[in-house]
Chains A and B, each alone.
Chain A
Amino acid sequence: MNLIEALEILKQAVPEDEHPLRVFLACGFTPLHLQTFLAAHLRRLLPQELVEVKTGLFGDLAGSIERLQTSECDVLAVVIEWQDLDPRLGIRSLGGWRTTDLPDVVKSTDQAVCRLEQALRRAASSISICVCMPTLPLPPLFTTPTRQAGDYELQLRQLVASFAASISNESSVCVLNSQRLDELSPPHSRFDVQSELMAGFPYKLTHASAVAELLAALIQNPTPKKGLITDLDDTLWSGILGEIGTDGVSWDLDKHTHMHGLYQQFLVSLASTGVLIAVASKNDPALVEKAFERGDMILSKENVYPLEVHWSRKSESTQRILKTWNIGPEAAVFIDDSPMEVAEVKAAFPEMECIVFPNNDYQAIWDLLKRMRDLFGKSIVSTEDSIRLESIRGAGSLREALEVSGDSLDDFLQSADASIRFTFGKQAADSRAFELINKTNQFNLNGKRLSDAAWKTYLNDPAAFLMTASYEDKFGPLGKIEVLLGRIQGKVLRIDSWVMSCRAFSRRIEHQSLKQLFQKFDAEEICFDYQATPRNGPLQEFFAELLGAPPVTDLRFSRTTFSGRSPSLFHRVEEVVNG
């Protein structure tokens, strides 16, 4: 994006929004074009939102962050340059570059980093923060020739690297990836010396746009994809299984097919972060079974569920896979080496990301792996991520067991050996609870999403409570699958958010949750901020079944009504109070 484009974007009419996304850009230099580019990139990424980008006092980065009223913004974008850590590391100060000054430069940088870290940690307790570490070259103040890294220079870089690693441990903090920035903006063409000295703005326009683009993407934080459907022949491995047999297909250096091994290794990595992996292949199932038994396969059968291996259309396989996973096509990626198969699936699921596997093109496969990391990448891998595939398999087993046994649901649930752990506490750092509220559609009280700031503000209300539920039965653990946000008003509970993962349906967890609420708070009535949405049918059905009539807005019922209508519950219940 160039500056004219950015200014043109900002001229366009903005949507009306009483709750704009308020971004505070903190940098030590005059923000000038960086502010323009950041606002424009955000407008492009979030066209439906009104975005405001404000700035603080120039020349005092740490002070700007320390003085920031976190209630006045939703996101803090921090751009640090070397001169913010010690003015002698910039060119506007003539504070001295003598050899004897260097130990003091390192010492004062250390102090500045500590001060910044404290300020950021304080702000991180209430808002989301995106941080860009120094991007400009260090000036030639060291004694070594520029081809040689000197002792003091290495110490400075180590201080900044340690600071970045330390601050990135905060769940609300994202650090901009310098390797990605290097790709977008080559380090040698970033610094505009004239502009720095005459206007106080040190970036070339291309660099300002690149920094802003990545910051905007960090702020946008798109929802990662959940599942990947892959082909086998000439994709997961090289060769056509039906023609050359299980010993003929390959993914190794000797046969020059190593990129398929890298692809397998990448899928294992994705699986370990909770991404669902399935196979859609036109193949002989017995041969595929045998191929997966090969000892040198990197992606094991345990990583994959389900396997759709037959000669039917891939769009049919995809349909069944999505149903098994219970996710929408917009949350999945389809990969196949055949452009025709990709086109067929894309025609059936236009919302799905469908990618042709670039067989035999080393560089293109490498680029594909990076693209997939962008599609599936997440900041935190939760316990629930690591057990997701198992719990989907468990849900499949539960459905099958119900169908096969012919028992009543009561009989079945009684024998399920189920336990629920209810946790009460107002842990704003509970990223799984926050994630569930913002991604659950089907069992969702009203479809309302919460920004990070709104989430923290809600939990700061003394009357507010947060209840989460974790579930386990003989088919395996489901992890944390339910979140309920409400407020206590005497003997009345007002529920503002209530979501439950679709993996937890048909276990009467929702009934047990309401029972728990009535007991825990000795409540006489519960009021729900209920709203029908195009996708919350399962929640509507739950209320309709419980109350004998379709739910309405301003929904409420008493403890007596609930007790009289709730079905039998067989869970073992444990309550935990945090904070």
Chain B
Amino acid sequence: MDEMQARLIRCFSSVFPHLTAEQIPTASVESVPAWDSLAAVTLVAVLQEEFGLQINLIDLPELVSFAAVRNYVRKHKNAL
């Protein structure tokens, strides 16, 4: 597991404490009932803190799964 994956799992784990480390990589809005709008905003705040990113809340609709979040963070980290 690369470092970014581990940090992302930590972020997801703090927002969705009931998910196991194994469940997180396949987590999505459809599979996690607790992933509502408040959780989405909290997840964005946690990602900003962890990776030092400025995430525009307009991008929220893109961030619908762990994989999508990973791609988003990777893209924006590289742009820094």
Chief secondary structure at chain A's binding surface: helix
Inter-chain contact B46/A4, CB cutoff 8 Å: yes
Q: Does B42 lie within 8 Å of A3, measured CB to CB?
A: yes
- Residue B11 lies at the interface, judged by CB distance under 8 Å to chain A: yes
Q: Other CB < 8 Å A-B pairs besides A32-B38, A199-B41, 10 of them? A: A3-B14, A3-B42, A3-B49, A4-B10, A7-B14, A7-B42, A33-B42, A195-B57, A205-B45, A205-B48
Q: Given the complex of chains A and B, what is the CA–CA distance between A33 and B80 in angstroms?
A: 26
A8 and B14 contacting across the interface, CB-CB below 8 Å: yes
Q: A194-B56, A194-B57, A195-B57 are in contact. Are A4 and B14 (CB under 8 A)?
A: yes
Q: Which residues of A in the span 1-30 have a Cβ within 8 Å of any Cβ on B?
A: 2-4, 7-8, 11
- Residue numbers in A under 8 Å from B45 (CB-CB): 3, 33, 205
Prevailing SS type, chain B contact patch: helix
CB pair B49–A4 under 8 Å, yes or no, is: yes
Q: Mind listing 6 A-B residue pairs with CB under 8 Å?
A: A4-B46, A32-B42, A33-B45, A198-B58, A199-B57, A205-B48
B53 at interface, CB cutoff 8 A: no
- Assess whether B57 is in contact with A11, with CB atoms less than 8 Å apart: no
Chain B residues at the A interface, C-beta cutoff of 8 Å: 10-11, 14-15, 17, 38, 41-42, 45-46, 48-50, 56-58
Contact call A4/B11, Cβ cutoff below 8 A: yes
Q: Mark A187-203, 1 if CB is under 8 A from B, else 0.
A: 00000001100110100
CB pair B46–A7 under 8 Å, yes or no, is: yes
Instruction: State the CA gap A510–B49 with chains docked (Å).
Output: 60
Within 8 Å CB of A4, what residues of B? 10-11, 14, 46, 49-50
Q: Is A386 an interface residue (CB 8 A)?
A: no
In the complex, what's the smallest C-beta–C-beta distance from A95 to chain B, in angstroms? 24
Q: What's the least CB distance linking B56 to chain A, in Å?
A: 7
B-contacting residues, A183-228, CB 8 Å: 194-195, 198-199, 201, 205
Assembled-state Cα–Cα distance A11/B19 (Å):
12
**How many A residues face the partner with a CB closer than 8 A?**
15
Bound-complex Cα distance A205 to B42 (A):
10
Q: What separation, in Å, do the CA atoms of A33 and B44 have in the docked complex?
A: 12
CB pair B14 A205 closer than 8 Å: no
Q: Which 7 pairs across A and B sit closest by C-beta, in order of nearness? A: A7-B14, A198-B57, A11-B17, A199-B41, A4-B14, A2-B49, A3-B46
B17 CB contacts on chain A under 8 angstroms: 7, 11
Would A201 and B14 be within 8 Å (CB), given that A3-B49, A4-B49 are in contact?
A: no
Chain A minimum-CB-distance residue to B7: A4
Residue A36, interface by CB 8 Å: yes
Q: Which residue of B lies closest to A35 (CB)?
A: B38
With CB as the reference atom, state the residue of chain B lying closest to A33: B45
A3 to B41, CA, bound (A): 12
Interface centre among A4, A8, A33, A195 (most CB of B within 10 A): A4
Task: Tell me the complex Cα distance, A198–B45, Å.
Answer: 13
State whether A7 touches B15 (Cβ < 8 A). yes
- Tell me the bound Cα distance from A194 to B45 in angstroms: 12
Chain A, 459-473, contact with B by CB distance < 8 Å: what is the 0/1 string?
000000000000000
Q: Of the candidates A11, A32, A198, which one forms a contact with B14 in the assembled complex, judged by CB atoms under 8 Å apart?
A: A11
Smallest distance from the beta carbon of A483 to chain B beta carbons, Å? 44
- Chain A contacts for B50, CB-based, 8 A: 4
A205 touches B49 (CB 8 A): yes
User: Which A255-270 residues sit within 8 Å CB-CB of chain B?
Assistant: none
Q: Kindly state the separation between the CA atoms of A195 and B58 in the bound complex, as whole angstroms.
A: 11
Alpha-carbon gap, A323 to B28, bound state (A): 64
The CA of A165 and the CA of B28, in the complex, are separated in Å by: 50
